Structure 1
């Protein structure tokens, strides 16, 4: 019994620590992007291409992680993900141009993709009871690190080391090197095998033919594209639309992640009580409405950018809980199928946002007022993704309600 508790503690440390590092690695890019753009003279479209190509690494990882975990085990899959993030930090520090920056980010997102699928499989195998609550608590640690990530990143970039500033290169190197921490307990943990419990048997062929699987993909894709876009573009939006300082804009992003994190901590029991699909429907609609309000009210309504975090936060973990319950026999396959297609949506979404901003700006001319219109159009697209996430829940809810024993 003592060994079981110790092993369970080790597994929780790896899962929660993994999500902490995941949040840091993804959300320090907000304050880093303007510095990268300035150093390499990048346009908004090039930033969009950077984020889109990075998502290809994430997509590639999603396509093989389930198979990898079967071949080498979920333990070594997680260790490989953490190691990839460490090397990405080293290569990012050494990058000399746009091409090498893309390659470094590609490796980072490759590691992030392996880590995300791996953590999802680990969590689904560990959290058998109160799945919605525990999934949200696990992802709470992602939000916890995301709160401080923008401010930490901006602060570290200004640190004076030797004869100059640490900059975005040194900041990434130090933060990504922290991935060594969860590798150590992973070496000693015993990770559970896949459950053979209640739920539908899962295969890729069956998922391709299942309308519920595709609706879940749509829900997750629209929701996560909106979530990730806020982390990537909010600081840039506030700096360029309202002429905010990097510090002030980063503080707003941190407030977004504070509300985002608190939402995941407290919303979990609600999702278990009222149902996963209905929860996603209501919260994603809240996020979309708040983002639209922030855009159309203007600078005085900027607080609604942060409030949107309350609604967008539960989407990903609640969808993971839905997958864990509905496809308990083959949850790794279900997660891989869903998140792989999510990766495709992320590539398209990141690319479209940058293109929309550039297109609208150039269509109306390159004046300051027209640049703001371009930024607003890009952010309306981000809000629209959250609204579409909510709308896709309607047919999903109806189908699951009519199927005998369906998880809703």
Structure 2
């Protein structure tokens, strides 16, 4: 497999390009994780059940998926700079659309637009980071994703706080106004992106790894499976935990949002500290250990009930390094096919996340109705959510299991990274 000549970025664009990456992950984390406190209020305002929430998250994942499918090719032609600017701009504009959404259908379209921007930003930041972080890749990838964890930690509490803010004759800002304010922050990273000279792809068309060759690589499919299970665990806890705590255990919105923030605090600390560990013990061993930890603690937290809720925080610590470590693995294994590898991996992962969102919503609704007929509405709702969170934990365990299989395969071929 050919390797791309390692060329150091020109000094003039290092500071601003770092700002683009770090600020980009900050606003990415905000946009992804303010939904936790907002979803219960969305359900009240629009009169939707858990299955419809799962449908909403699945539709949004489709928007993310569509963006991922074309962003790599678009950035190769138009440049990573324009791609980044469009992603930030689309996310900021979606906040306006969400604010003026008068019904669930219009809101779904507005949210879909936000996830188009999210998908473009996901690919743009991954490509940009892989081009710049050519040394200490595991640590630098985890450091950049630390900023995602930082904003994700603050996002639930900020969202819950802003939703209760009153203005003009005592009117509350509400969840729609909160989205408008939070997504308007996407304008900030547009400034360094506009003035920076971001690195371009130096790989010639002859050197570049074709997508067909990438898809024929067995390792590529293992990477996709591993990343998919890891992301399902991360995003599902972020999307459902507040709803679970509020409706099953009667926690207040502030307390439930605080618990989600603790999850992301551990998530943030994990990405800050475990990057060193990743470079020391290797990419594959890191994924095996930490995804297994995340899966097991999620299952235990669910089985223990209210007394075990704190274990969700441990799950945040465990799942934190999985995504950036997989990105580092891709960057090292496919240096001449980086854009294609990231695009295909994240796109297929997006398909799996769409399916999992639908399945998770349907699973919760199924067990809720089943146990309601046996134990009553209150207990049925709790059991429905618990079934969903056990599924989430199993995804973490499967991430570890497939990582073990891949590790053994790579070890036999002397290709362990």
Do the structures match in fold with TM over 0.5?
yes
In structure 2, the residue matched to 1:105 is 111
In structure 2, the residue matched to 1:286 is 293
The alignment status of 1:215 with 2:222, answered yes or no, reads yes
**Could you tell me how far 1:370 is from its partner in structure 2?**
1.7
Moved more, 183-192 or 38-47: 183-192
**Could you tell me how far 1:88 is from its partner in structure 2?**
0.5
In structure 1, the residue matched to 2:398 is 388
In structure 2, the residue matched to 1:340 is 347
The alignment status of 1:373 with 2:383, answered yes or no, reads yes
Name the CA distance, whole Å, in 2 between partners of 1:74 and 1:232: 29
Name the CA distance, whole Å, in 2 between partners of 1:368 and 1:37: 17
Instruction: Please give the residue correspondences for 1:9-408 in structure 2 after superposition, counting only pairs within 5 Å.
Output: 9-163=15-169, 164-196=171-203, 202-364=209-371, 365=373, 367-404=377-414, 406-408=415-417
Residues 325, 407 of structure 1: 8 Å contact kept: no
SS in 1 for 2:141: helix
Name the CA distance, whole Å, in 2 between partners of 1:246 and 1:202: 49
Name the CA distance, whole Å, in 2 between partners of 1:37 and 1:370: 18
Q: What are the superposed Cα offsets for residues 293-320 of structure 1, whole Å, 9 maximum, x if unpaired?
A: 1111110111001111010100100000
**Could you tell me how far 1:202 is from its partner in structure 2?**
2.3
Residues 18, 119 of structure 1: 8 Å contact kept: yes
Name the CA distance, whole Å, in 2 between partners of 1:241 and 1:34: 12
In structure 1, the residue matched to 2:3 is none
Moved more, 149-158 or 362-371: 362-371
Aligned residues: 403
RMSD: 1.4
For structure 1, the residue ranges without an aligned partner over 5 or more in a row are none
Name the CA distance, whole Å, in 2 between partners of 1:151 and 1:115: 24
Moved more, 150-159 or 393-402: 393-402
SS in 2 for 1:151: helix
Residues 322, 407 of structure 1: 8 Å contact kept: no
Name the CA distance, whole Å, in 1 between partners of 2:127 and 2:10: 19
Name the CA distance, whole Å, in 2 between partners of 1:296 and 1:377: 10
**Could you tell me how far 1:402 is from its partner in structure 2?**
2.1
Q: What are the superposed Cα offsets for residues 222-268 of structure 1, whole Å, 9 maximum, x if unpaired?
A: 00011000100000111112110000000000000000000000101
TM-score where L is the length of structure 1: 0.97
Name the CA distance, whole Å, in 2 between partners of 1:273 and 1:193: 30
Name the CA distance, whole Å, in 1 between partners of 2:325 and 2:208: 20
Residues 281, 393 of structure 1: 8 Å contact kept: yes
**Could you tell me how far 1:4 is from its partner in structure 2?**
4.5
Residues 290, 319 of structure 2: 8 Å contact kept: yes
Name the CA distance, whole Å, in 2 between partners of 1:35 and 1:313: 28
Name the CA distance, whole Å, in 2 between partners of 1:41 and 1:211: 45
Give the direction of change, closer, same or farther, for the CA distance of 1:195–1:383 in structure 2 (3 Å limit).
farther
Name the CA distance, whole Å, in 2 between partners of 1:7 and 1:210: 35
SS in 2 for 1:298: helix
TM-score where L is the length of structure 2: 0.95
Name the CA distance, whole Å, in 2 between partners of 1:403 and 1:336: 26
